[in-house]
Structure 1
Amino acid sequence: MDKLDAGIIDMLRLNARAGYGDIGDAVGLSASAVKRRVDRLVATGVIRSFTIQVDPAVDGLGTEAYVELFCRGNVAPHELKRILSAIPEVVDAGTVSGSADAVVHMRSRDIHSLEVALERLRTATNVDNTRSSIVLSRLIHRRYE
């Protein structure tokens, strides 16, 4: 991957529907050269997919929270994944360093449904307690997956 590939990827991150000609104008290549490079980036797995991002509020998931998860004893990451996968309101999670065992991002319809989901999380095997912070306003959102 070179500088031109990086420029193409940057353009596609901004707008996955951008035309090859528009991308080419921005990075200094012809539309056909951009297409060949995009095809190669897809074939080699550098570009995994082209997708859209829909505002979660459109799907009725306008309430979000970040939750620190504290477990009893040592809990393996695969066990945390099993617990968290059973709760549909969990949209992202990762194990972390520090006093918490994991940080969980949750989305729900409203505060009541968030509370119900948190209670399911709190009563899961090996979960000792949680500390939640409800998001009031989103300041920056970048997706790098």
Structure 2
Amino acid sequence: MDAIDSRIIDQLRQNARAGYGDIGDVVGLSASAVKRRVDRLVADGVIRGFTVQVDPAVEGLAVEAYVELFCRGTVSPDDLRRLLSAVPEVVDAGTVTGEADAIVHMRSRDIPSLEEALERVRSAPNVDHTRSAIVFSRLVHRE
């Protein structure tokens, strides 16, 4: 990947629907040259996909929370993945350093549905407890 590839990716991040000619005008290449580079970036796995991002509130998922997950004993990441994948309100999760075993990002339509989802997580055999923080307002969001 070179500097031109990086500039193409920057343009696609700003607008994934931009035409190859429009991107070429910015980076100094023809539309066909941009297309070849994008195709190569996709084939090489640098670009993993093109998506549509919909405001979660429009889809009825206005409540957002971050949850620290604390487990009893040692729980493998695969076991946590299976547990959390079964809860539709979980939109992102990862193992972390520190006291918690994982941090979980959840979205739900309202507080009662968030509470129900949290209870499904808490009732898993290896989960000791959780600590939740509900988001009031998003300050910065980058993909």
Same fold flag (TM > 0.5): yes
State the alpha-carbon separation in 2 of the partners of residues 33 and 134 from structure 1: 46
TM-score by length of 2: 0.96
State the alpha-carbon separation in 2 of the partners of residues 92 and 62 from structure 1: 16
Find out whether 1:72 has 2:72 as its counterpart. Answer: yes
* 1:29 Cα offset (Å): 1.2
Aligned-partner SS, 2:58: helix
State the alpha-carbon separation in 2 of the partners of residues 107 and 98 from structure 1: 24
State the alpha-carbon separation in 2 of the partners of residues 60 and 89 from structure 1: 12
User: Which residue pairs with 1:62 in the alignment?
Assistant: 62
TM-score by length of 1: 0.95
User: Which residue pairs with 2:83 in the alignment?
Assistant: 83
Percent identity between the aligned chains? 77
Which amino acid in 2 is paired with 1:122?
Answer: R
Find out whether 1:126 has 2:126 as its counterpart. Answer: yes
State the alpha-carbon separation in 2 of the partners of residues 37 and 3 from structure 1: 12
How many residues are treated as equivalent by the alignment? Answer: 143
> What root-mean-square deviation, in Å, do the aligned CA atoms of Structure 1 and Structure 2 show?
0.9
* 1:55 Cα offset (Å): 0.6
Q: Give 5+ residue unaligned stretches, structure 1.
A: none
User: Which residue pairs with 2:18 in the alignment?
Assistant: 18
Aligned-partner SS, 1:105: strand
* 1:132 Cα offset (Å): 0.2
